[in-house]
Structure 1
Amino acid sequence: MSEPFERSRPKTRSRLLEAAYTVFADVGIELGTVEMICDRANFSRGAFYSNFGSKDEIVIEAVKAFVGQRLVDSEEFVDSLVHRGFPADPADAIRQIAAKITGGRAGIIVMNEVRMHGVRDERVAHEYLQWQQGLLAQVQVIVQRFLAAYELQTNLSASHAAELIFSVWQHTSLTAAISGLNDEEIALAVGDATAGILASFASTTAMAQTPRAPSAVSMLASICVEAAPRDPMMAFADRIRPLASLEMVQTEHVSVYYRVKEVDVQVIPAADGTIATITYGADFPAPVNGVSIGDAHERVTAVLGDAHRTWPAAHPNDILIWDTPAFFRVDVDRETSRVARIWR
């Protein structure tokens, strides 16, 4: 075998692994074929079989390559934290580490494809379980280094903690992907879930009293601002649930509404299953159409112009309404002349 061929073989193998990974993410392992992988990598079947004995072999190898790189990135990130100092808040460090490990929607799809393939194929199952043990050992090292950095103690062994965290990653990432979250949102969801599980078994005041991450609150606020009347209520609920609870409330005046209490938002559904009205309460942390809770009356009109109309009946607040380009209502507290509530 010639020397140039020897030097090119690792590149060929790497391209085939990358192609297999994308094919399995796009169409699944059962429908993905050697021909599709070769086409994606722009190689012949001969090149494929010079590197892999079968499709089953490249299935496991593709996952090993992908997750292995993620763990290397995570370990290098932890190394960098050791040198420059960990964040004061342990939960922030957890979220940063989880973001490095989380592989986005494609990675989640392929990982779950491999698990299901292993359920059907004993040979794949054996390979996968062996690889998973090695993966857990690497996660255990990361957990140990994190606990040592913050002088945390747990009632669990490091191996059991790693298994628990790994299970949380699997469940949270899959739920987030099914709910339609993008890669950044998935990473935030996994980070928050990991912080929560560590807080439950790490005995430290700093960990136990860590408040909900501002990043998570910001993500919830962003989802609530992006939602609009006539959007499907179910789609909105699916985006919210991986990050927060969606509480159903029944009242005398409205048959039912849903509350995202973490950001003080209420959503009233329409009879056809879409969103009818969204209201943003006193604790909502983000601007809506350029207007924020607590803004002065003068700033509202500076941003939006004069209101098209006001509330026709008596009300404790001044009610300002804009009808175009879409209905928008601002409740201004008469005593403070500041925005108390926003409606869309």
Structure 2
Amino acid sequence: MSITTSEAPKPTESARRQKTRERLMDAAFEVFSEVGIHAATVEMIAERADFTRGAFYSNFDTKEELFLALAERGNNQRLALLRQSVEHMDQILPEILGAPGAKLQPENLGLLVTSFLDQQNENSYWFLFQSELRLLAMRDPAVGSIYLEQKAAAETEFANIISAALRAVGLSSELNPLELASVLTTTYESTLQEAIMQGGPQVQKIAHELVRTKLVALITQLAR
């Protein structure tokens, strides 16, 4: 199976074609949130996007290719939000600490982590999507190869963002950036999984509370 995932349109690709791809990815995520990756069919996705099967196959060779493109887009969007928060740290810190020029203290880390988490969109469906995509990647080497490339790129960018965030608040880590990013990502995902398993109508709120507590404890131990 041949799979490509690049989001950027080719030079000959029109803005209309790119818009069609975006609508198909939006529809795919909606369908996934209702039935899951494996039950989501090309027909369901095309119908939700108000397109034909022909429109689907003129943009994606397979359903797997679409889901990988969706994963790449989602990773990029979430990393962009984090990057933007770090770039505006000089504005965020005074708001959090209540005074211009105030230095971040360990007891204020929770407020900073919360402000970062609040920038993210609904994460429970995204985590479920990623979990199912991982299973698919383990079963299909063609999917797995591209999934690992995406994962490595996302972790590298996340490591850069975390390093910039620590520098911005005058901290450093005992771990190298990639190790720290891996630890934080693993902690975040396991905590979100726990919140989803608890169920209830406020998964996002519960997840953020759990994540904030665990991440603050980790950062306090690993950063200085």
Q: Deviations over 1:269-303 (max 9, x none)?
A: xxxxxxxxxxxxxxxxxxxxxxxxxxxxxxxxxxx
Q: CA deviation at 1:130?
A: 0.6
Is this contact kept in 2: 1:140–1:162, CA < 8 A?
yes
What is the distance in 2 between the residues matched to 1:186 and 1:58? 28
Higher helix share: 2
1:220: which partner in 2?
none
Q: Deviations over 1:310-334 (max 9, x none)?
A: xxxxxxxxxxxxxxxxxxxxxxxxx
Is this contact kept in 1: 2:86–2:168, CA < 8 A?
no
1:10: which partner in 2?
18
1:79: which partner in 2?
87
TM-score (norm 1): 0.55
Helix, strand or coil at the partner of 1:51: coil
Residue 192 (structure 1) aligned with residue 201 (structure 2): no
What is the distance in 2 between the residues matched to 1:84 and 1:96? 8
Equivalence map 1:270-309=2 (5 Å) = none
What is the distance in 2 between the residues matched to 1:40 and 1:69? 22
Residue 22 (structure 1) aligned with residue 41 (structure 2): no
How many residue pairs get matched?
A: 199
Is this contact kept in 2: 1:119–1:125, CA < 8 A?
yes
- Unaligned 5+ residue runs, structure 2? 1-12, 97-103
Equivalence map 1:1-344=2 (5 Å) = 6-83=14-91, 85=93, 87=96, 88=104, 89-101=108-120, 103-180=122-199, 181-203=202-224
2:184 alignment partner AA: I
Is this contact kept in 1: 2:31–2:45, CA < 8 A?
yes
1:166 alignment partner AA: T
Q: Deviations over 1:167-203 (max 9, x none)?
A: 1111111111111142233223223222121112112
Q: Deviations over 1:199-230 (max 9, x none)?
A: 12112xxxxxxxxxxxxxxxxxxxxxxxxxxx
Helix, strand or coil at the partner of 1:155: coil
Q: Which has the higher contact order (CA 8 A, sep 6+)?
A: 2
1:139 alignment partner AA: F
For residues 102 and 182 of structure 1, do their structure 2 counterparts lie closer, same or farther at Cα, with a shift above 3 Å needed?
Answer: same
What is the distance in 1 between the residues matched to 2:71 and 2:213? 25
For residues 28 and 84 of structure 1, do their structure 2 counterparts lie closer, same or farther at Cα, with a shift above 3 Å needed?
Answer: closer
Helix, strand or coil at the partner of 2:14: helix
- Unaligned 5+ residue runs, structure 1? 204-344
2:16 alignment partner AA: S
Helix, strand or coil at the partner of 2:39: coil
1:323: which partner in 2?
none
Higher strand share: 1
2:126 alignment partner AA: G
What is the distance in 1 between the residues matched to 2:217 and 2:139? 34
For residues 141 and 82 of structure 1, do their structure 2 counterparts lie closer, same or farther at Cα, with a shift above 3 Å needed?
Answer: farther
Q: Which moved more, 1:186-195 or 1:166-175?
A: 186-195
Q: CA deviation at 1:102?
A: 6.2
Q: Deviations over 1:227-284 (max 9, x none)?
A: xxxxxxxxxxxxxxxxxxxxxxxxxxxxxxxxxxxxxxxxxxxxxxxxxxxxxxxxxx
What is the distance in 2 between the residues matched to 1:82 and 1:52? 42
Is this contact kept in 1: 2:89–2:168, CA < 8 A?
no
1:154 alignment partner AA: S
